[in-house]
Amino acid sequence: MKCLLDATSVKVLARAIHCLAKIGDELHIEPTENGLTMKTVNSSKSAYSAFNFQLPFFLDFCHISENTVQADPDEDTVIKCKLPMKSILSVFRSIGSLEKSVETCNIMLPLMEALLIIEFKCKHGIIKHFNLRYFECESVEAEFCKSGYASKFSCSSRFYSETLLSFHSSTQEVTWSLAMDQVHLSNHIDDEIDPSKCVRTEVTLAKDEFVDFNVALCTQVTFCLKELRAILAFAEALKLDVDCRMEGAGQPVLFSLEKADLYSADFLLATLTPVLDSTAISSRTINNQRKNNVSTQSDVSKHSSPVPVLRDKADSRTVSCANLQTTVVPIVPESSCHTSRLSSLSLIEPQPFPAMEDDLDLEIQPPPPKRARARYIFQNCLKATQEFREKPYEVFAPDSEGDE
């Protein structure tokens, strides 16, 4: 593969690499007959992004390099490779410097050498040459169909960025609630966190604010905000509109942007799966535990101390199925112990045994009083007078009588 870019295209390519670097740690490069594709996937495989640079984006493009002219026609001569994102960022680190100094950029991907060669021709005849080692890999693909989404709406990237300014920088996930005439954004708060200790941020976007608004299904989805900020940073710098497609909770969200006949980008983000109603699940699991552990509960109740009851009808909490299946809690009447209302991540604090309180009071004695030592430290120094004793001594030169 061999391609040539002008200064404007180099700036766009650098911003695309910066956007991909905020999502994944590896850059996948796939040259095709129609252009160049750059992809990445994050470590948890919950975000996929791909930039497609079409032929008009380049001054010159050839997906088969000179080293592949005499290659075997039966073999695949197109290289699909990946390289660490840190290595490619070292070349395109300063976008402002590239915009001011670079005139053309030549990118080569020879088949016989496992190198990605990047050559900058700068002003005043300066040439910068970079050789980056890559690894051959399989193609990374994400199956999705843009026409299969029920809801689609598009808006300017600047409007989205101004909307996200209302959220704190530490916000990790945001919830989008779609209605027929508006879009409601709010920061996602986990069930384990106390709502009274969290700041709730809500923003409502009217239908008139969007360039295109077509919502066929009222739904609510929650996804990570980190990838969305990276998308908007690229789109806002180039003044592009962002298309958003949503299906429902648990289904991926698709963000797309496009520059006519030059390049396009797709970002597929995973959403949180809705939590199922755990009331029926917990009741069935507890009934099975009662049938299978009747003898175990009777033995434990004889030798164990009262345990705080975690079930409370007035304040029911979401309990995971795994915890119910692995934890056996003996059921104790409410008169013999105290009930505790705990959230999912709360810790059970130890409580004193009612029958042993009297014994503990008898065994524990008050500590001895501290000795007052400070007033005796400088006792001799603070006396008004001190006793003076004369020591006997021998006179070798007595006073003469004349001097008296």
Predicted confidence (pLDDT) per residue in 248-287, tens digit: 888 999 999 999 889 999 999 999 887 654 443 444 444 4
Question: Residue 13 pLDDT > 90, yes or no?
Answer: yes
Are both 1-142 and 146-288+318-326 of the same fold?
yes
Give the tens place of pLDDT for each residue, 107-127. 998 878 889 999 999 999 999
Percent of the chain's residues with pLDDT above 70: 65
Topology given in CATH for the domain delimited by 1-142: Proliferating Cell Nuclear Antigen (3.70.10)
Question: Residue 306 pLDDT > 80, yes or no?
Answer: no
3-state secondary structure the chain: CEEEEEHHHHHHHHHHHHHHHCCCCEEEEEEECCEEEEEEECCCCCEEEEEEEEHHHCCEEECCCHHHCCCCCCCCCCCCEEEEHHHHHCCCCCHHHHHHHEEEEEEECCCCCCEEEEEEEEHHHCEEEEEEECEECCCCCCCCCHHHCCEEEEEEHHHHHHHHCCCCCCCCEEEEEECCCEEEEEECCCCCCCHHHCCCCEEEEEHHHCCEEECCCCCEEEEEHHHHHHHHHHHHHCCCEEEEEECCCCCCEEEEEEECCCEEEEEEECCCCCCCCHHHHHHHHHHHHHHHCHHHHHHHHHHCCCCCCCCCCCCCCCCCHHHHHHCCCCCCCHHHCCCCCCCCCCCCCCCCCHHHHHHHHHHCCCCCCCCCCHHHCCCCCCCCCCCCCCCCCCCCCCCCCCCC
pLDDT band at residue 35 using 50, 70 and 90 as cut-offs: very high
pLDDT given at position 257: 95
Please provide the CATH number assigned to the domain covering 146-288+318-326: 3.70.10.10
Across 144-160, average pLDDT: 91
pLDDT band at residue 389 using 50, 70 and 90 as cut-offs: low
Of the listed ranges 101-105, 208-212, 333-337, the one predicted with least confidence: 333-337
pLDDT given at position 78: 65
Sorted by where each begins, the domain ranges of the chain are 1-142, 146-288+318-326
Give the tens place of pLDDT for each residue, 195-207. 677 788 889 999 9
Question: Residue 1 pLDDT > 60, yes or no?
Answer: yes
pLDDT given at position 151: 92
Mean pLDDT (the chain) is: 75
Give the tens place of pLDDT for each residue, 173-196. 999 999 999 999 998 877 666 667
pLDDT given at position 255: 96
